[in-house]
Amino acid sequence: MAKILSGKEVSARIKEELKQEVAALKEKGIFPGLAVVIVGDDPASRVYVNSKKKACEDLGIYSEEYALSAETTQEELLSLIDTLNHKKEINGILVQLPLPKHLDEESVIQAIDPKKDVDAFHPVNVGKIMVGNYDFVPCTPAGVMELIHESGIEVSGKECVVIGRSNIVGKPQAMLLLHENGTVTICHSRTKDLKETVKRADIVVAAVGKPNFITGDMIKEGAVVIDVGINRIAPKTLVGDVDFESASKVAGAITPVPGGVGPMTIAMLMKNTVKAALIQ
Ligand code: NAD
């Protein structure tokens, strides 16, 4: 049976450290602040925003929430971002994605001051990740790296297979593994021989968005399996992209869903917010 990589436990440790760091910063007159912007009433987005606000409260980070109606125009949203870019109490700006269809996500992301872009989605920050000299790491891939380190596995020289090539998870994940000298393969919807490719991996990161898609027969004995997927298959049932039941019998270490990558993502957002305050 695989070792369980509990993001819940690791993130609690990270948040405890950050809490102390925030307290020490406040004594020096530095008060980290995060603005969270949500447009419309997507229930999943609401849950994520609430968890982010709660994490700020727990850590003593100042936060502001801007809950805008689904009818918000592009101009209104850009104007809010401009205000937040100039607001000195705010060090980090997070616009919860996805935005309603009539809004242009790309230009909204580009409007955020890169120094306040705690999600690291702005092209300036994406470019910095590419060259390996960055301040902010996108929260989910950063959380995955922390969990890999926790499992005690060296990435250097290892076969790493990332399934999914989104800008938010798959691509930056591949870059972070590459920076640690992994031999990285990215699989996606057009990949042939997915099973054979995944089976080679010492480290598998699944970010597909398909419930229980990666099964135990695709996993090499002893591999580290990180499941980024969050799929709601019933009102109260979340499952990952990895079929935990079969994969955990073969893997050396595996993340559960929930309680794996999810809580790590929020801890990394808090880390980026503290970093933003320090940089500014
Ligand atoms: P996305 O839809 O943008 O990307 C999915 C990727 O999967 C695509 O690149 C696509 O090429 C690939 N794919 C689709 N079908 C495939 C197939 N048959 N074989 C191989 N690859 C295939 O999704 P995303 O934003 O990257 O998110 C992926 C999953 O991670 C979702 O379940 C999402 O909810 C979850 N997620 C979790 C966190 C977290 O904090 N844990 C954060 C972000 C996303």
Q: What is the pLDDT of residues 61-90, one digit of tens each?
A: 999 999 999 999 999 999 999 999 999 999
Confidence of residue 150 (pLDDT cuts 50, 70, 90): confident
Say what the pLDDT of residue 151 is.
Answer: 83
Residues 6 or more apart whose CB falls under 8 angstroms from that of 110 comprise 122, 123
In DSSP terms, which residues pair with 225 in a beta bridge? 204, 254
Ligand 1 contact, 261 CB (< 6 A): yes
pLDDT digits (tens, 9 = 90+) for 124-137: 999 999 999 999 99
Calculate mean pLDDT across residues 178-197. Answer: 98
Say what the pLDDT of residue 128 is.
Answer: 98
- The sign one gets for the Cα dihedral 221, 226, 229, 235 is positive
H/E element holding 86?
helix 74-86
Cα 249–265–69 angle (5° rounding)?
125
Q: Is residue 60 predicted with pLDDT exceeding 90?
A: yes
Choice among 116, 117, 119, 271 that is catalytic: 119
Residues 6 or more apart whose CB falls under 8 angstroms from that of 151 comprise 3, 5, 224, 252, 253
Calculate mean pLDDT across residues 90-100. Answer: 97
Q: Is residue 153 predicted with pLDDT exceeding 90?
A: no
Ligand 1 centroid – CA 207 distance (Å): 4
Confidence of residue 114 (pLDDT cuts 50, 70, 90): very high
Residues 6 or more apart whose CB falls under 8 angstroms from that of 61 comprise 22, 32, 33, 34, 55, 270, 273, 274
Calculate mean pLDDT across residues 129-149. Answer: 96
Calculate mean pLDDT across residues 15-21. Answer: 98
Ligand 1 contact, 270 CB (< 6 A): no
Q: Which atom of ligand 1 is nearest to the CA of 266?
A: 40
Active site residue 210: no
Say what the pLDDT of residue 189 is.
Answer: 98
Active site residue 52: yes
Residue of 259, 246, 238 whose CA lies nearest to 214: 246
Percent of the chain with pLDDT over 90: 98
In DSSP terms, which residues pair with 226 in a beta bridge? 205
Say what the pLDDT of residue 228 is.
Answer: 98
Calculate mean pLDDT across residues 191-208. Answer: 98
Calculate mean pLDDT across residues 35-61. Answer: 96
Rounded-to-10 torsion of CA 97, 100, 104, 108: -40
Q: Work out the mean pLDDT of the chain and round it to a whole number.
A: 97
